[in-house]
């Protein structure tokens, strides 16, 4: 089986789209402030109800993987069908700085994690890393859910299917 065959088969599995965020503290306590970091993910799922655990799959060595190896607190915004532009922006390869990516996106800072929670998201979760598991070229990050809110229920979910963002229905 080739990578292309595997990728084609897995593209037939519809997935929800989330924005994973974390706050990167300043390198020097006396230096300039930290920075919000974000990435689009479709490999995100609920693991356990008791305790409340979720899992996100990160490309090993990515900026988010490196950050969550040092910073245990992160957040997830479940994107709505009207937030396709956010998903695309944070999924770009060779993208501009994260600071510019967040510039015109409404968000609030999570009380438990300090991470950005996107305004208009269908749901938001704040998490603390419980476990990291190496799996091939990805790291599976299992997080304990510290807060979960459903700020917006007026829209449908953003889905990813056959290499494109889609709406249900």
CA–CA separation, 109 vs 74, rounded Å? 11
d(CA 137, CA 13) in angstroms, rounded, equals 20
Q: Give the C-alpha separation, 69 to 81, whole Å.
A: 31
Of 113, 109, 101, the residue nearest 68 (C-alpha): 113
| Alpha carbons 53 and 67: distance in angstroms, whole number | 20
In the chain, the N- to C-terminal Cα span, in Å, equals 33
The 3-state DSSP composition of the chain as helix, strand, coil percent (nearest 5) reads 20, 45, 35
pTM for the predicted model, two decimal places: 0.92
Give the count of beta carbons closer than 10 Å to the beta carbon of residue 108.
11
Cβ atoms of 75 and 127 closer than 8 Å: yes
Instruction: Tell me the per-residue pLDDT of 21-45, one tens digit each, with 9 for 90 and over.
Output: 999 987 776 666 789 999 999 999 9
Are 169 and 138 a contacting pair, CB within 8 Å? no
Per-10-residue mean pLDDT, the chain, length 169: 89 92 82 85 96 97 94 97 94 73 93 96 97 97 97 85 84
DSSP 156: P
**Domains, the chain, ordered by start:** 15-26+33-162 (2.30.110.10)
């Amino acid at each position: 089986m080739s990578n292309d065959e595997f990728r084609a088969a897995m593209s037939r599995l519809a997935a929800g789209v989330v924005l994973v965020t974390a706050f990167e503290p300043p390198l020097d306590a006396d230096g300039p402030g930290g920075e919000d970091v974000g990435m689009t993910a479709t490999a995100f799922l609920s693991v356990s109800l008791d305790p409340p655990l979720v899992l996100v799959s990160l490309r090993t060595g990515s900026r988010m993987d490196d950050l969550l190896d040092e910073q245990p607190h992160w957040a997830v915004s479940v994107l709505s069908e009207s937030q396709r532009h956010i998903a695309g922006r944070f999924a770009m390869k060779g993208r501009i700085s994260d600071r510019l990516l967040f510039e015109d996106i409404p968000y609030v800072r999570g009380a438990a994690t300090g991470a950005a929670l996107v305004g208009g998201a269908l749901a938001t979760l704040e998490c603390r890393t419980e476990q990291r598991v190496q799996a091939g070229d990805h790291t599976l990050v299992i997080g304990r859910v510290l807060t979960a809110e459903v700020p917006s229920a007026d829209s449908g979910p953003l889905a990813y299917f056959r290499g494109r963002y889609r709406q249900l229905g």
